[in-house]
Amino acid sequence: MPAVSACSLCQHDGMTAREFPPRLRTQHSLSPRTVAVTSGRPTGVGSPLNQPIVLASNFRSSGNYSRDQGTETWVALETAIGDLEGGRAVAFASGMAAAAATIYALAPAVVVVPSVSYMGVRALLSEYETQGQVQLRPVDITNTTAVAEAARGADVVWVETPTNPTLDVADLEAIGHISKEAGAQMVVDSTFATPLLQRPIEHGAAIVIHSGTKFIGGHSDLLIGLCVTADDHVFDRLHKARTLQGATPGALEAFLALRGLRTMPLRLEASQHNAALLVSHLRDHPAIEDVRYPGQGAMVSFVVRGGAAAADAVCDRVLVIVAATSLGGVETTIERRQKYAGDAHVHPGLLRMSVGIEDITDLWADLAAALE
């Protein structure tokens, strides 16, 4: 992934475990693959091997209420994601809830925002701007010089990398330095990269956001969001946002996200392998005008010659690949993004594809047939 300090999948230098059971603490840091499998598990003789679903709103002989204190299921997921990112995590009802909590926690007056990024977050920030609560400074997040100019006097520099849906890559290290020098806090939506491919806290991010609905859950069957921070004050503000706004995750959703996390390294490895092969075929195909792939990850965007009609035809013709919104599941999905008002600025023929774990021969045969 050019210009991003991202670890190669399964070849990370290691990270320090934060709350591992004593039997897992060693003098050597653990691989992300190991952290994804082991962190957040119950400990002690007689404990279940996996964290069970805790269906409870309140607890005996205690003032604890799940909206305030959470449940063991939430905490297990938060521990695992926090360990992977190198911070402390707070789980929310969705990725958008996590984004809204970030705005609440940091209370910015001026926000630098990527001009190309997830349309839901841009819509949320635009709503705040309409209400006079925040001033937005849209910028090409890949243009470091432009980011530095926009960051002067800003409170938050919001980064999405790779960007949705065009897969542009920002220089996290450089923007981290820019934000610090400007006195701004950097927020990074790292949903596409996952904690396995980049760790923004190491580059100065105040908050890292994940839509756990996507690659963390990995099976297109839940909604959940996560914020991670290494700042205790910011953590308290995020927790307060969840408590006051009521954006709590469901017990089943937290359980499913944690279960999905256990296989994320293997899923991402398989999806990334497929993505690289599909990209090599697409770049040689006469029906393709442009291919965007950051070199890592499972997201691919490409422009079909013939514009919107040709791109829609591809979506209509695929059989193995699923024409659907969202991303990050075991199945390969494809979608023309310009049809949505929030993505009206992207090329009309651009298709965003989330590559799954199916057999690569079947995937390319399906896509090639649709392109023809």
Do 277 and 254 belong to one domain? no
Same domain, 219 and 286: no
Name the residue range of residue 268's domain.
Answer: 264-371
Q: What is the 3-state secondary structure (H, E, C) of the chain?
A: CCCCCCCCCCCCCCECCCCCCHHHCCCCCECHHHHHHHCCCCCCCCCCCCCCCCCCCECCCCCCEHHHHCCHHHHHHHHHHHHHHCCEEEEECCHHHHHHHHHHHHCCCEEEEECCCCHHHHHHHHHHHHCCCCEEEEECCCCHHHHHHHHCCCCEEEEECCCCCCCCCCCHHHHHHHHHHHCCEEEEECCCCHHHHCCHHHHCEEEEEEECCCCCCCCCCCCCEEEEECCHHHHHHHHHHHHHHCCCCCHHHHHHHHHHHHHHHHHHHHHHHHHHHHHHHHCCCCCEEEEECCCCCCEEEEEECCHHHHHHHHHHHCCCCEECCCCCCCCCEEEEHHHCHHHCCCCCCEEEEECCCCCHHHHHHHHHHHHC
Same domain, 221 and 270: no
Domain shared by 231 and 140, yes or no? yes
Residue 7: inside a domain:
no
What is the predicted pLDDT for the residue at 66? 86
Domain identity same for 233 and 151: yes
Mean pLDDT (whole number) for 124-135: 97
Q: What is the pLDDT of residue 317?
A: 98
pLDDT, tens only, 284-336: 999 999 999 999 999 999 999 999 999 999 999 999 999 999 999 999 999 99
pTM for the structure as a whole: 0.91
Report the domain count for the chain: 2
Is the pLDDT at 237 greater than 60? The verdict is yes
What is the pLDDT averaged over residues 185-194? 98
pLDDT (0 to 100) of residue 178: 98
Q: How far is CA 149 from the centre of its chain?
A: 26
Q: Mean pLDDT, to the nearest integer, of 208-237?
A: 98
Looking from the CA of 129 toward its CB, the CA atoms found within 13 Å total 14
Residues 271 and 231 in one domain: no
Average pLDDT, stretch 88-110? 98
The answer to whether residue 1 is domain-embedded is: no
Residue 343 lies in a domain: yes
pLDDT confidence tier of residue 275, bands split at 50, 70 and 90:
very high
259 belongs to a structural domain? yes
How much is the average pLDDT of 116-139?
96
The amino acid that residue 130 corresponds to is T
Has residue 194 been placed in a domain?
yes
For the stretch 327-368, pLDDT in tens is: 999 999 999 999 988 888 899 999 999 999 999 999 999 999
Spatial distance between the Cα atoms of 292 and 209, rounded to a whole number of angstroms: 23
Tens-place pLDDT, residues 10-49: 444 443 333 333 334 443 589 999 999 999 999 989 999 9
Beta bridge partners of 365: none
pLDDT at 86 over 90: yes
Same domain, 73 and 214: yes
Residue 16 lies in a domain: no
Looking at residues 130-135, what average pLDDT do you find?
97
* 12 in a structural domain: no
CA distance linking residue 135 with residue 110, whole number of Å: 5
- Do 205 and 296 have their domain in common? no
Residue 4 lies in a domain: no
pLDDT of 279 > 50? The answer is yes
How large is the average pLDDT for residues 188-202?
97
Query: Which of 246, 263, 280 is a domain's end point?
Result: 263
Tell whether the model's pLDDT for residue 257 goes beyond 70: yes
Q: What is the CATH number of the domain that holds 289?
A: 3.90.1150.10
Write down the pLDDT at residue 28: 54
Q: Provide the CATH number for the domain around residue 108.
A: 3.40.640.10
- Last residue in a domain, options 263, 292, 312: 263
> Could you say which of 240, 263, 286 is where a domain stops?
263
Degrees (nearest 5) of the Cα angle 84, 87, 90?
A: 95
Residues 273 and 361 in one domain: yes
Do both 83 and 163 map to the same domain? yes
- β 350-354/333-336 pair status: antiparallel
Distance CA 96, CA 120 (A): 7
